[in-house]
């Protein structure tokens, strides 16, 4: 088993989502002693897509500029990490009712027509199949699945669009109102992983 471990919280050691992703990875490694891990902290920076990215990555060109080549190399690196993984463990801290900009940038980098998904006569088909994802959802005041949660359905949809349909959430929500209850929900979800 190879695990891709992704964090994106801006709060450093105080981050609940970082704590949860570490706990998920530890449980997976306990259940699979030979498991390997690739770690990426998206908070260190994931370039947003722009016109140079579009030309260099999506359109392609015979004579790319250095900037366009850098975009292609970075996008390929993000995508290869996903392709090589059996399991993704993704930290999903909620800021302003949705996912972090860094995590959105990462999704934009790996969502590539003809590479991670393709269009068919029956509609889009994800090409990153055969993988599982565990999502560490952490929110001070946005209950998971509520009408003000614009993150959990989105990330489930995006992963499914890319072919990753086996998605499990480990939610620690309502932390600002009742931290103990929110963490208890997360611990209960953790107990089911690799059980």
Residues in binding site for FMN: 15-17
**Contact (CB, 8 A) for 110 and 162:** yes
DSSP alpha helices (H): ranges in 32-141?
51-53, 66-84, 101-110
Tell me how far apart the alpha carbons of residues 173 and 161 are, in angstroms, rounded to a whole number: 25
Question: How close are the terminal C-alpha atoms of the chain, in Å?
Answer: 16
Provide the CB-side half-sphere exposure for 3 (13 A, CA): 24
Return the number of other C-beta atoms located less than 10 Å from residue 65's C-beta. 12
* 3-state SS assignment for residue 112: coil
Tell me how far apart the alpha carbons of residues 24 and 22 are, in angstroms, rounded to a whole number: 5
Question: In DSSP terms, which residues pair with 40 in a beta bridge?
Answer: 6
Q: Which residues are annotated as a binding site?
A: 15-17
Q: What is the CA radius of gyration of the chain?
A: 17
């Amino acid at each position: 088993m190879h695990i891709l471990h992704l964090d994106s919280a801006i709060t450093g050691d105080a981050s609940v989502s970082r704590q949860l992703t570490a706990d998920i990875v530890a449980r997976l490694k306990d259940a699979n002693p030979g498991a390997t891990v690739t770690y990426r902290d998206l908070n260190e920076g994931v370039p947003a897509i722009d016109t140079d990215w579009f030309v260099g990555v999506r359109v392609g060109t015979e004579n790319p500029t250095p900037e366009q080549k850098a975009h292609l190399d970075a996008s390929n690196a993000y995508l290869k990490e996903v392709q090589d993984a059996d399991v993704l463990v993704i930290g999903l801290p909620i800021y302003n009712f949705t996912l972090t900009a860094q995590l959105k940038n990462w999704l934009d980098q790996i969502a590539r027509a003809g590479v991670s998904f393709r269009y068919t006569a029956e509609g889009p088909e994800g090409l990153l199949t055969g993988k599982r994802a565990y999502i560490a959802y952490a929110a001070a005041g946005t209950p998971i699945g509520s009408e003000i949660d614009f993150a959990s359905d989105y990330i489930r949809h995006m992963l499914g669009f890319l072919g990753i349909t086996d998605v499990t959430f480990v939610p620690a929500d309502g932390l600002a109102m009742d931290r103990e209850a929110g963490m208890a929900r997360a611990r209960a979800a953790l107990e089911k992983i690799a059980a």
